[in-house]
Chains A and B, each alone.
Chain A
Amino acid sequence: MRLTAIVIKDMLRRKRRVLHSVFGVSIGIMTVIAMLTVADSGEQALRMELENYGPNLSVVPDTARMDVELGGLTMGSVTVGETLLDSSVLPEIQRVADDAIRADMGISDPGPIAIVAPRLYLPASVGDRNVTVAGVSPGEERAIRVWWDFAEGGYISGENDIVVGAVAARSLGLSSGQTVNISGHEYTVAGVLGESGSNDDFLLFAPLATLQQTSGKGPVVSTVDVRALCTGCPVEMIAHALNAGIPGIHAIAVRQVAEAELGMWHGMRAVVLMIASVTLLVGLFGVMNAMTAMVAERRKDIGIMRAVGASRRQILSMFAQEAILLGVLGGLGGYVAGLLLAMAVGPLILGGVAVTPVFSYIPLAVGLAGGISMVAALHPALGAARMRVADAVRTSS
């Protein structure tokens, strides 16, 4: 027989008290686990969204706004500089971006790493309706807009194909297979995009080359989206390299915005965890109460054990073992309850995102619960160990 066997037998004898303590620990752990699990799933969803965000960088012509003044009065402002980029800048952007990635990540592969997708925005008309047509490089555009789905039809496959945004299609009464005359040029609607809530809903997408040619604008583009085909790419650095290396352009790291969102999410998670910690603290006092009551109940037993040869250290060890057992039970119970709670409320909080279990939180739950039980047991256990044998045995008579 060992000390642990005595502890377990004693716990089995006091099932109600033990359950009370386990419940107290579980509640605290449940809150923490539920919050962590929901937060984790939220972050995962946000990260996935980030992965699919599309461009890491947006390159636009470098323009500046200048205030127009007359006799000390500001008369408005004018845009200074080119509003379109020459297509010749595209290979430059590709080269600078690739070089920056290679240098930072130690890649020796000479092939293209970044996807460079130019767009040319032009005002046009369909019948008597004004529209905006975006000329795109079909291959590159599709590689960046991975989230595009089609309400009907398919993607651009010929030089006179267009894809129409959801709202634009509704507004113009267009559907796939139809022919449409845009500013004097006949296109065939290849497909209609599903609604995405972005500007794409209002645009008509035509092949860049066709648009450049039919509009008479020549080889120019309005913006260039750049997406690096790597995770953890040094977006900031690429933007800096582009701005420094190519005159007349301005590169912005788009992902920064999303990263800031992620940072906000982390901040929220910290606040939520703080609230959970308060719950844990309340649980701690509950367990401390239960432990104190348990010690009071066992005063006689502790006295007997001390009288028949138990040292103070052995009495403390017995309480520590009990605390660990309570911690394991409370931790596992809390984990399961927390997971169920997260699965129930998570989709409501995250707008339908399913919560996935994080099994690596099991050691955290058990460890945390064990720690709480230990802290809760410490004071009563010390009191029990210090108890005078004569008093303990006498008061029990």
Chain B
Amino acid sequence: MLELRSVSRMYGQGDARVVALNQVSLVVNAGDFISIVGPSGSGKSTLLNVMGGVDRITGGEILFDDQRFDLLSEEELTTFRRNRLAYVFQQYHLVPSLTVIENVALPMVFRAAGRDITRAWQMLERVGLRHRASHRPSELSGGEQQRVAIARALVNDPALILADEPTGNLDQASGRQIMSLFMELNDEGRAVVMVTHNLQLAQCAREIVELTDGRVVSRSTVPDRRLPSLRGIEKELADAAPGLANDNIMGVPPQGGNHL
């Protein structure tokens, strides 16, 4: 479905030049669930952005269903993104002035299909938030906001979901809920590419691609994909930042973000 051939992305020029992606090749097939892991600054988000066509590549080529995705004009890319892709961001990125159902229906409006938003209601039902339809995003917890963002991502029935740290701002319980939802969507045949720092959550995918300094350093299959236990997530966090893990055991969400 999606193929990256020796893709490079550089920022700046001369001495200030930064190589965000260096000759990355990657294939995403229908039904794949790929976790992209790597340290900060390794190019994970840039890779997701070029896959989603919101960032242009400076070398190589990208094919989507055998069509040169990287050569499309801005308007063609927008149409393509609207019909075939969906984004889920770490910060949920809901429009604060719109209600939950309006946020879910937003991609339909831009597709000029906003008159009948039955599908938006169905997707909201699917993520279990129909009862929150008339609320504003600010009245929702972080986990709920991310579920709304996922419902919005699903409303145009995309073939590929791109998720950038989708649980990064959530507490463990909410993060598990979201991952469970992604696994469910993947089981239905939708391809998911997810960027994450969390190796435990990365195990939910079918494959893990590791990125370092803009290069793919490993690609491995997850033999027994499963939702991590809360304890497992806490342990990983404790290894990384002991104080933060203790806080989490007390129920305080990481990064001081929204929580249930």
A87: B residues at CB distance < 8 A: none
Interface size class of B (residues with CB under 8 A): 35 or more
Using an 8 Å CB-CB cutoff, how does the interface string of B208-245 with A read, 1 for contact, 0 for none? 00000000000000000000000000000000000000
Tell me whether B95 and A305 are in contact (CB under 8 A). yes
Please pick, from A5, A300, A306, the residue contacting B78 in the complex, using a CB distance under 8 A: A306
Q: Scan residues 87-127 of chain B and give those whose CB is less than 8 A from a CB of chain A.
A: 87, 89-91, 93-98, 102, 105-111, 114-115, 117
Distance in Å from the Cβ of B46 to the closest Cβ of chain A?
Answer: 8
> In the complex, what distance in Å separates the CA atom of A5 from the CA atom of B87?
23
- Known contacts A306-B78, A314-B110, A397-B91; can you find 10 more A-B pairs with CB under 8 A? A2-B109, A2-B115, A9-B98, A10-B97, A300-B93, A303-B93, A307-B93, A308-B106, A388-B55, A393-B89
Asked if B89 and A390 sit within 8 Å, CB to CB, the answer is no
B75–A313 contact, CB under 8 A? yes
Nearest chain B CB to A386 CB, angstrom units = 9
Contact with A along B26-61 (1 / 0, CB 8 A): 000000000000000000010001001011000000
Does A389 count as interface, using CB distance less than 8 angstroms? Answer: yes
Residues in B with CB closer than 8 Å to A310 are 78, 110
Task: Select one of A5, A10, A306, A390 contacting B49, CB under 8 A.
Answer: A390
Shortest distance in angstroms between B183's beta carbon and chain A's nearest beta carbon?
23
Interface string of B11-36 (1 = CB under 8 A from A): 00000000000000000000000000
Which of B's residues lie within 8 Å of A, judged by CB?
Answer: 45, 49, 52, 54-55, 74-75, 78-79, 81-82, 86-87, 89-91, 93-98, 102, 105-111, 114-115, 117, 152, 156
Q: Which residues of A contact B91 (CB under 8 A)?
A: 396-397
Is B152's CB under 8 angstroms from A308's CB?
A: yes
Among A305, A311, A314, the most chain B Cβ lie within 10 Å of the Cβ of A311
Docked pose: A396 CA to B97 CA in angstroms: 16
Q: From residue B58, how far is it (CB to closest CB) to chain A in Å?
A: 14
8 Å CB interface, A271-310 against B: 300-301, 303-310
Asked if B55 and A312 sit within 8 Å, CB to CB, the answer is no
> Among A2, A300, A397, which residue has the most Cβ atoms of chain B within 10 A?
A397
Complex Cα spacing A11 to B169, Å: 29
User: Within 8 Å CB of B49, what residues of A?
Assistant: 390
Give the shortest distance, in Å, between A361 (CB) and chain B (any CB).
Answer: 34
Q: Find residues 292-349 in chain A having any chain B CB closer than 8 Å to their own CB.
A: 300-301, 303-314
Q: Are B97 and A9 in contact (CB under 8 A)?
A: yes
Given the complex, which residues of B lie within 8 Å of A2, measured CB to CB? 109, 114-115
Shortest 9 CB-CB contacts between residues of A and residues of B: A309-B82, A389-B54, A13-B97, A309-B110, A1-B114, A390-B55, A304-B93, A311-B78, A390-B54
By beta carbon, the residue of chain B nearest A300 is B93
Q: Which of A1-54 contact B (CB under 8 A)?
A: 1-3, 5-6, 9-10, 12-13
Contacts of A314 in B (CB 8 A): 110
Contact A308 B75 (CB under 8 A): no
Chain B residues contacting A388 (CB-CB under 8 Å) are 54-55
Residues of A within 8 A of B117 (CB): 1
How far is it, in angstroms, between the C-alpha of A313 and the C-alpha of B98 when the chains are bound?
21
- A394 vs B109: C-alpha distance in the bound complex, in angstroms? 24
Q: Which residues of A contact B106 (CB under 8 A)?
A: 6, 305, 308
Residues on A with C-beta less than 8 A from B108 are 1
| Chain B, Cβ-Cβ closest to A310 | B110
CB of A13 within 8 A of CB of B96, answer: yes
The reply to whether A307 and B54 form a contact with Cβ atoms under 8 Å apart is yes
Contact of B109 among A6, A12, A396 (CB under 8 A): A6
**B105–A1 contact, CB under 8 A?**
yes
Contact indicator B54/A312 (Cβ below 8 Å):
no
What are 14 A-to-B residue pairs whose CB atoms are below 8 Å? A2-B109, A9-B98, A13-B96, A300-B93, A304-B94, A305-B106, A306-B54, A308-B107, A309-B110, A310-B78, A388-B54, A389-B54, A393-B54, A394-B45
Quote the shortest CB–CB distance from B121 to chain A (angstroms).
12
Interface residues as binary, A375-396 with B (CB distance below 8 Å gives 1, 0 otherwise): 0000000000000111001101
Name the residue in A10, A306, A309 with the highest tally of chain B Cβ atoms < 10 Å from its Cβ: A309
Q: What are the residues of chain A within 8 A of B55 when measuring CB–CB? A: 388-390
Query: Shortest CB–CB separation between residue B171 and chain A, in angstroms?
Result: 19
Within 8 A of B (CB), among A152-201: none
What is the bound-complex CA distance between A301 and B92, given in angstroms?
12
Contacts of A309 in B (CB 8 A): 78, 81-82, 107, 110-111, 156
Complex alpha-carbon distance, A303 and B79, angstroms: 15
Q: B70 → chain A, closest Cβ, in Å?
A: 14
Let me know if B74 and A312 touch, CB within 8 A: yes
Separation of A3 and B86 alpha carbons in the complex (Å): 20
Among B75, B87, B152, find the residue whose CB has the most chain A CB atoms closer than 10 A: B87
Bound CA–CA A239/B93 (angstroms): 81
Cα separation A305 to B102 with both chains bound (whole Å): 12
**B142 vs chain A, min Cβ distance (A):** 14
